[in-house]
Structure 1
Protein backbone atom coordinates (compact mmCIF):
# COMPACT_ATOMS: atom_id res chain seq x y z
CA UNK A 1 0.00 0.00 0.00
CA UNK A 2 1.42 3.40 -0.92
CA UNK A 3 2.26 5.70 1.97
CA UNK A 4 0.11 8.49 0.56
CA UNK A 5 -3.04 6.38 0.89
CA UNK A 6 -5.09 6.94 3.99
CA UNK A 7 -8.68 5.66 4.37
CA UNK A 8 -11.30 8.32 5.08
CA UNK A 9 -11.82 9.08 8.77
CA UNK A 10 -14.85 10.47 10.55
CA UNK A 11 -13.10 13.73 11.24
CA UNK A 12 -12.78 14.20 7.47
CA UNK A 13 -16.54 14.77 7.21
CA UNK A 14 -16.98 18.52 7.06
CA UNK A 15 -20.76 18.50 6.76
CA UNK A 16 -22.71 18.87 9.98
CA UNK A 17 -24.53 15.74 10.93
CA UNK A 18 -28.27 15.89 11.42
CA UNK A 19 -30.70 13.64 13.20
CA UNK A 20 -34.17 12.70 12.13
CA UNK A 21 -35.62 13.34 15.57
CA UNK A 22 -35.11 15.99 18.18
CA UNK A 23 -36.86 17.11 21.31
CA UNK A 24 -38.57 19.91 19.36
CA UNK A 25 -39.79 17.63 16.56
CA UNK A 26 -41.07 15.02 19.00
CA UNK A 27 -43.02 17.54 21.06
CA UNK A 28 -44.28 19.74 18.20
CA UNK A 29 -47.75 18.18 18.29
CA UNK A 30 -48.20 19.01 21.97
CA UNK A 31 -47.32 22.65 21.22
CA UNK A 32 -50.21 23.10 18.79
CA UNK A 33 -52.88 25.49 20.03
CA UNK A 34 -56.60 25.78 19.34
CA UNK A 35 -55.86 28.96 17.38
CA UNK A 36 -53.88 26.93 14.79
CA UNK A 37 -57.02 24.92 14.10
CA UNK A 38 -59.33 27.96 14.09
CA UNK A 39 -57.06 29.67 11.53
CA UNK A 40 -57.87 26.88 9.07
CA UNK A 41 -61.64 26.91 9.60
CA UNK A 42 -64.08 29.20 7.80
CA UNK A 43 -65.05 30.88 11.06
CA UNK A 44 -68.81 30.35 10.66
CA UNK A 45 -70.62 29.95 13.96
CA UNK A 46 -74.10 28.49 13.79
CA UNK A 47 -76.26 29.63 16.67
CA UNK A 48 -79.80 29.28 17.88
CA UNK A 49 -81.80 31.14 20.54
CA UNK A 50 -83.18 29.36 23.63
CA UNK A 51 -86.79 30.27 22.68
CA UNK A 52 -86.60 28.68 19.23
CA UNK A 53 -88.20 25.29 18.68
CA UNK A 54 -86.34 22.02 18.21
CA UNK A 55 -87.91 21.89 14.74
CA UNK A 56 -86.09 25.11 13.81
CA UNK A 57 -82.87 23.79 15.36
CA UNK A 58 -83.10 20.48 13.50
CA UNK A 59 -83.55 22.37 10.24
CA UNK A 60 -80.38 24.39 10.94
CA UNK A 61 -78.45 21.21 11.75
CA UNK A 62 -79.63 19.63 8.50
CA UNK A 63 -79.03 22.67 6.29
CA UNK A 64 -75.51 23.30 7.62
CA UNK A 65 -74.70 19.57 7.95
CA UNK A 66 -73.41 19.98 11.51
CA UNK A 67 -73.87 18.11 14.78
CA UNK A 68 -74.40 20.92 17.26
CA UNK A 69 -75.61 24.50 17.58
CA UNK A 70 -74.33 27.07 20.03
CA UNK A 71 -77.19 28.56 22.04
CA UNK A 72 -76.82 32.31 22.56
CA UNK A 73 -78.94 35.01 24.14
CA UNK A 74 -79.99 38.23 22.39
CA UNK A 75 -76.56 39.77 23.12
CA UNK A 76 -74.69 36.82 21.58
CA UNK A 77 -73.54 35.46 24.94
CA UNK A 78 -73.14 31.69 25.29
CA UNK A 79 -75.97 30.16 27.32
CA UNK A 80 -75.77 26.54 26.20
CA UNK A 81 -75.16 24.06 23.42
CA UNK A 82 -77.64 21.86 21.58
CA UNK A 83 -76.26 18.66 20.09
CA UNK A 84 -77.81 15.83 18.14
CA UNK A 85 -77.38 13.72 21.28
CA UNK A 86 -79.53 16.18 23.30
CA UNK A 87 -82.28 15.93 20.68
CA UNK A 88 -82.15 12.12 20.59
CA UNK A 89 -82.52 11.99 24.39
CA UNK A 90 -85.61 14.20 24.18
CA UNK A 91 -86.94 12.06 21.34
CA UNK A 92 -86.70 9.02 23.62
CA UNK A 93 -88.51 10.88 26.43
CA UNK A 94 -91.29 12.33 24.25
CA UNK A 95 -91.65 10.26 21.07
CA UNK A 96 -93.68 12.03 18.41
CA UNK A 97 -93.87 15.23 20.50
CA UNK A 98 -90.25 16.38 20.41
CA UNK A 99 -90.07 19.03 17.70
CA UNK A 100 -92.43 21.60 19.30
CA UNK A 101 -90.26 21.79 22.47
CA UNK A 102 -88.05 24.83 23.02
CA UNK A 103 -84.28 24.63 22.68
CA UNK A 104 -83.91 25.80 26.30
CA UNK A 105 -85.81 22.70 27.48
CA UNK A 106 -83.30 20.34 25.84
CA UNK A 107 -79.94 22.14 25.57
CA UNK A 108 -76.90 21.43 27.72
CA UNK A 109 -76.47 24.40 30.04
CA UNK A 110 -73.16 23.46 31.69
CA UNK A 111 -70.95 23.97 28.65
CA UNK A 112 -67.25 23.16 28.72
CA UNK A 113 -65.31 25.87 26.91
CA UNK A 114 -61.69 26.46 25.96
CA UNK A 115 -59.55 29.38 24.88
CA UNK A 116 -57.67 29.83 21.60
CA UNK A 117 -54.37 29.58 23.48
CA UNK A 118 -55.09 26.12 24.94
CA UNK A 119 -53.19 23.11 23.70
CA UNK A 120 -55.07 20.99 21.15
CA UNK A 121 -53.96 17.85 22.97
CA UNK A 122 -55.44 19.14 26.25
CA UNK A 123 -58.71 20.08 24.57
CA UNK A 124 -58.94 16.69 22.86
CA UNK A 125 -58.35 14.93 26.19
CA UNK A 126 -61.07 17.02 27.87
CA UNK A 127 -63.51 16.20 25.08
CA UNK A 128 -62.67 12.50 25.20
CA UNK A 129 -62.90 12.27 28.99
CA UNK A 130 -66.16 14.27 29.07
CA UNK A 131 -67.59 12.23 26.16
CA UNK A 132 -68.64 15.26 24.11
CA UNK A 133 -67.66 16.24 20.58
CA UNK A 134 -68.10 20.02 20.46
CA UNK A 135 -66.36 22.72 22.51
CA UNK A 136 -66.98 26.46 22.14
CA UNK A 137 -63.92 28.71 22.15
CA UNK A 138 -64.35 31.75 24.39
CA UNK A 139 -61.98 34.70 24.62
CA UNK A 140 -62.58 37.34 27.29
CA UNK A 141 -66.21 36.27 27.69
CA UNK A 142 -66.84 36.47 23.93
CA UNK A 143 -67.60 33.46 21.77
CA UNK A 144 -64.91 33.19 19.08
CA UNK A 145 -65.25 29.72 17.59
CA UNK A 146 -66.18 26.07 17.94
CA UNK A 147 -63.82 23.10 18.00
CA UNK A 148 -65.05 19.60 17.20
CA UNK A 149 -63.35 16.25 17.55
CA UNK A 150 -63.69 15.94 13.77
CA UNK A 151 -61.80 19.25 13.33
CA UNK A 152 -58.94 18.03 15.53
CA UNK A 153 -58.71 14.64 13.78
CA UNK A 154 -58.79 16.26 10.31
CA UNK A 155 -56.18 18.84 11.34
CA UNK A 156 -53.85 16.15 12.72
CA UNK A 157 -54.30 13.86 9.69
CA UNK A 158 -53.39 16.74 7.39
CA UNK A 159 -50.26 17.36 9.43
CA UNK A 160 -49.29 13.68 9.29
CA UNK A 161 -49.73 13.66 5.50
CA UNK A 162 -47.46 16.71 5.23
CA UNK A 163 -44.86 15.06 7.48
CA UNK A 164 -44.96 11.86 5.39
CA UNK A 165 -44.47 13.92 2.21
CA UNK A 166 -41.48 15.70 3.73
CA UNK A 167 -39.94 12.37 4.71
CA UNK A 168 -40.46 11.00 1.18
CA UNK A 169 -38.82 14.11 -0.26
CA UNK A 170 -35.83 13.66 2.06
CA UNK A 171 -35.44 10.03 0.99
CA UNK A 172 -35.90 10.58 -2.73
CA UNK A 173 -33.95 13.81 -2.78
Structure 2
Protein backbone atom coordinates (compact mmCIF):
# COMPACT_ATOMS: atom_id res chain seq x y z
CA UNK A 1 0.00 0.00 0.00
CA UNK A 2 1.51 3.34 -1.00
CA UNK A 3 1.76 6.18 1.51
CA UNK A 4 -0.67 8.16 -0.62
CA UNK A 5 -3.25 5.36 -0.27
CA UNK A 6 -3.05 5.37 3.51
CA UNK A 7 -4.90 7.69 5.85
CA UNK A 8 -2.41 9.29 8.22
CA UNK A 9 -2.57 7.63 11.60
CA UNK A 10 -1.81 9.72 14.63
CA UNK A 11 0.16 8.28 17.52
CA UNK A 12 -2.88 8.59 19.79
CA UNK A 13 -4.83 6.39 17.33
CA UNK A 14 -2.55 3.43 18.00
CA UNK A 15 -4.10 0.85 20.36
CA UNK A 16 -0.94 0.96 22.48
CA UNK A 17 -1.45 4.64 23.27
CA UNK A 18 -4.20 4.03 25.83
CA UNK A 19 -3.11 0.59 26.98
CA UNK A 20 0.57 1.27 27.67
CA UNK A 21 1.52 1.57 31.31
CA UNK A 22 2.67 4.94 32.54
CA UNK A 23 6.37 5.50 31.81
CA UNK A 24 8.85 5.46 34.67
CA UNK A 25 9.78 9.02 35.51
CA UNK A 26 12.44 10.49 37.75
CA UNK A 27 13.79 13.94 38.31
CA UNK A 28 17.33 14.68 37.16
CA UNK A 29 18.82 14.59 40.67
CA UNK A 30 17.67 11.01 41.34
CA UNK A 31 20.50 8.50 41.35
CA UNK A 32 21.13 5.97 38.62
CA UNK A 33 20.82 3.25 41.27
CA UNK A 34 17.26 4.35 42.09
CA UNK A 35 16.31 4.38 38.41
CA UNK A 36 17.92 1.00 37.68
CA UNK A 37 16.09 -0.56 40.65
CA UNK A 38 12.75 0.72 39.34
CA UNK A 39 13.58 -0.36 35.77
CA UNK A 40 14.49 -3.84 37.02
CA UNK A 41 11.41 -4.17 39.24
CA UNK A 42 9.04 -3.18 36.43
CA UNK A 43 10.91 -4.69 33.48
CA UNK A 44 11.37 -1.33 31.75
CA UNK A 45 14.24 -0.48 29.41
CA UNK A 46 14.31 3.23 30.16
CA UNK A 47 13.28 6.04 32.46
CA UNK A 48 12.14 9.48 31.41
CA UNK A 49 13.78 12.35 33.26
CA UNK A 50 11.21 15.06 33.98
CA UNK A 51 11.02 18.35 35.81
CA UNK A 52 8.56 19.11 38.63
CA UNK A 53 5.80 19.73 36.04
CA UNK A 54 6.33 16.31 34.36
CA UNK A 55 7.92 17.97 31.31
CA UNK A 56 10.56 15.86 29.59
CA UNK A 57 14.16 16.88 30.21
CA UNK A 58 15.92 13.68 29.19
CA UNK A 59 15.84 9.94 28.89
CA UNK A 60 18.07 7.22 30.34
CA UNK A 61 18.15 3.80 28.71
CA UNK A 62 19.83 0.54 29.62
CA UNK A 63 22.38 1.37 26.95
CA UNK A 64 23.15 4.71 28.66
CA UNK A 65 23.73 2.87 31.94
CA UNK A 66 26.12 0.42 30.27
CA UNK A 67 28.06 2.90 28.16
CA UNK A 68 28.13 5.97 30.37
CA UNK A 69 28.09 4.54 33.89
CA UNK A 70 29.42 0.96 33.89
CA UNK A 71 32.00 1.54 31.16
CA UNK A 72 33.25 4.68 32.90
CA UNK A 73 33.32 2.87 36.28
CA UNK A 74 31.04 5.43 37.92
CA UNK A 75 29.18 4.75 41.18
CA UNK A 76 25.46 4.25 40.48
CA UNK A 77 24.55 5.19 44.05
CA UNK A 78 26.26 8.57 43.72
CA UNK A 79 25.71 9.43 40.04
CA UNK A 80 22.63 11.55 39.26
CA UNK A 81 20.59 10.73 36.18
CA UNK A 82 21.44 14.17 34.81
CA UNK A 83 25.03 13.00 34.35
CA UNK A 84 24.22 10.09 32.03
CA UNK A 85 20.88 11.06 30.48
CA UNK A 86 20.35 12.00 26.87
CA UNK A 87 19.25 15.59 27.41
CA UNK A 88 16.49 17.17 25.35
CA UNK A 89 15.52 13.98 23.51
CA UNK A 90 13.26 14.09 20.48
CA UNK A 91 9.65 14.08 21.65
CA UNK A 92 6.45 13.63 19.71
CA UNK A 93 2.97 15.03 20.16
CA UNK A 94 0.13 12.54 20.33
CA UNK A 95 -1.32 14.05 17.14
CA UNK A 96 1.87 13.41 15.11
CA UNK A 97 1.83 10.89 12.26
CA UNK A 98 2.99 7.35 13.03
CA UNK A 99 4.86 6.89 9.75
CA UNK A 100 6.73 10.17 10.11
CA UNK A 101 8.11 9.08 13.48
CA UNK A 102 8.84 5.55 12.30
CA UNK A 103 11.03 7.00 9.54
CA UNK A 104 12.71 9.49 11.89
CA UNK A 105 13.45 6.81 14.49
CA UNK A 106 14.83 4.48 11.85
CA UNK A 107 16.96 7.13 10.14
CA UNK A 108 18.26 8.72 13.34
CA UNK A 109 18.76 5.34 15.06
CA UNK A 110 16.90 5.74 18.31
CA UNK A 111 14.45 3.25 19.79
CA UNK A 112 12.36 5.14 22.33
CA UNK A 113 10.06 8.05 21.62
CA UNK A 114 8.54 10.01 24.50
CA UNK A 115 5.08 11.27 23.55
CA UNK A 116 3.92 14.45 25.25
CA UNK A 117 0.71 16.44 25.50
CA UNK A 118 0.31 20.03 24.31
CA UNK A 119 2.00 21.31 27.49
CA UNK A 120 5.01 19.02 27.00
CA UNK A 121 4.08 16.59 29.80
CA UNK A 122 4.98 12.95 29.31
CA UNK A 123 2.08 10.67 28.36
CA UNK A 124 3.63 7.45 27.00
CA UNK A 125 6.84 6.13 25.52
CA UNK A 126 6.61 4.40 22.16
CA UNK A 127 9.31 1.96 21.11
CA UNK A 128 10.18 0.78 17.63
CA UNK A 129 8.53 -2.51 18.56
CA UNK A 130 5.22 -0.69 19.06
CA UNK A 131 5.27 0.23 15.38
CA UNK A 132 5.82 -3.32 14.11
CA UNK A 133 2.13 -4.24 14.14
CA UNK A 134 1.42 -1.11 12.10
CA UNK A 135 3.94 -1.94 9.38
CA UNK A 136 3.64 -5.75 9.41
CA UNK A 137 0.60 -5.98 7.05
CA UNK A 138 2.37 -3.75 4.52
CA UNK A 139 5.55 -5.81 4.72
CA UNK A 140 3.60 -9.03 4.16
CA UNK A 141 1.78 -7.49 1.19
CA UNK A 142 5.06 -6.29 -0.34
CA UNK A 143 6.67 -9.72 0.17
CA UNK A 144 3.70 -11.35 -1.57
CA UNK A 145 3.92 -8.95 -4.48
CA UNK A 146 7.66 -9.55 -4.83
CA UNK A 147 7.17 -13.32 -4.76
CA UNK A 148 4.38 -13.09 -7.33
CA UNK A 149 6.48 -10.89 -9.59
CA UNK A 150 9.44 -13.26 -9.26
CA UNK A 151 7.35 -16.34 -10.12
CA UNK A 152 5.64 -14.68 -13.06
CA UNK A 153 8.89 -13.19 -14.36
CA UNK A 154 10.50 -16.65 -14.43
CA UNK A 155 7.42 -18.68 -15.49
CA UNK A 156 9.41 -20.62 -18.08
CA UNK A 157 11.84 -21.89 -15.42
CA UNK A 158 8.92 -22.99 -13.25
CA UNK A 159 7.41 -24.78 -16.25
CA UNK A 160 10.65 -26.64 -16.97
CA UNK A 161 11.19 -27.47 -13.29
CA UNK A 162 7.60 -28.69 -12.96
CA UNK A 163 7.98 -30.84 -16.08
CA UNK A 164 11.17 -32.42 -14.76
CA UNK A 165 9.54 -33.07 -11.37
CA UNK A 166 6.46 -34.62 -13.00
CA UNK A 167 8.64 -36.80 -15.28
CA UNK A 168 10.66 -37.95 -12.25
CA UNK A 169 7.52 -38.90 -10.32
CA UNK A 170 6.13 -40.83 -13.27
CA UNK A 171 9.44 -42.68 -13.75
CA UNK A 172 9.53 -43.64 -10.05
CA UNK A 173 5.98 -45.01 -10.31
CA UNK A 174 6.62 -46.88 -13.58
CA UNK A 175 9.99 -48.33 -12.50
CA UNK A 176 8.63 -49.16 -9.04
CA UNK A 177 5.72 -51.14 -10.49
CA UNK A 178 7.99 -53.39 -12.60
Q: With the length of structure 2 as denominator, give the TM-score of the two structures.
A: 0.66
In structure 1, list runs of 5 or more residues that go unmatched.
1-20, 165-173
RMSD across aligned positions (CA): 2.6
Runs of 4+ in 1 over 3 A off after TM superposition: 154-157
Hey, what does 1:49 align to over in structure 2?
A: 27
User: Hey, what's the Cα distance between the residues in 2 that align with 1:54 and 1:92?
Assistant: 14
Provide the rounded CA distance (Å) in 2 between the counterparts of 1:43 and 1:31.
Answer: 25
- Summarize the Cα distance change of 1:57–1:154 in structure 2 as closer, same or farther, 3 Å threshold: farther
- Structure 2 residues without counterparts, runs of 5 or longer: 142-178
Q: After superposition, where does 1:36-75 map in structure 2 within 5 Å?
A: 36-37=13-14, 38-75=16-53
- How far residue 149 of structure 1 moved from its aligned partner, in angstroms, is 0.7
Offset, 1:154: 4.0
Instruction: Name which of 12, 26, 30 aligns with 1:35.
Output: 12
Structure 1 length normalisation: TM-score?
0.68
Following superposition, the deviation at residue 40 of structure 1 comes to 4.6
User: Using the alignment, how far apart are the partners of 1:66 and 1:57 within structure 2?
Assistant: 10
Q: Tell me if structure 1 keeps the 8 A contact 2:47–2:61.
A: yes
- Give per-residue Cα distances to partners, 1:89-148, cap 9 Å, x unaligned: 1211126x3443111111110210111111111111111122111111122223222111
Work out which of the residue numbers 127, 139, 153 in structure 1 matches 2:105.
127
| 1:13 corresponding residue in structure 2 | none
SS at match of 2:5: helix
Q: 2:63 aligns with which of 85, 96, 118?
A: 85
Query: Comparing both structures, which one devotes a greater share of its residues to helix?
Result: 2
Instruction: Give the paired residue count.
Output: 137
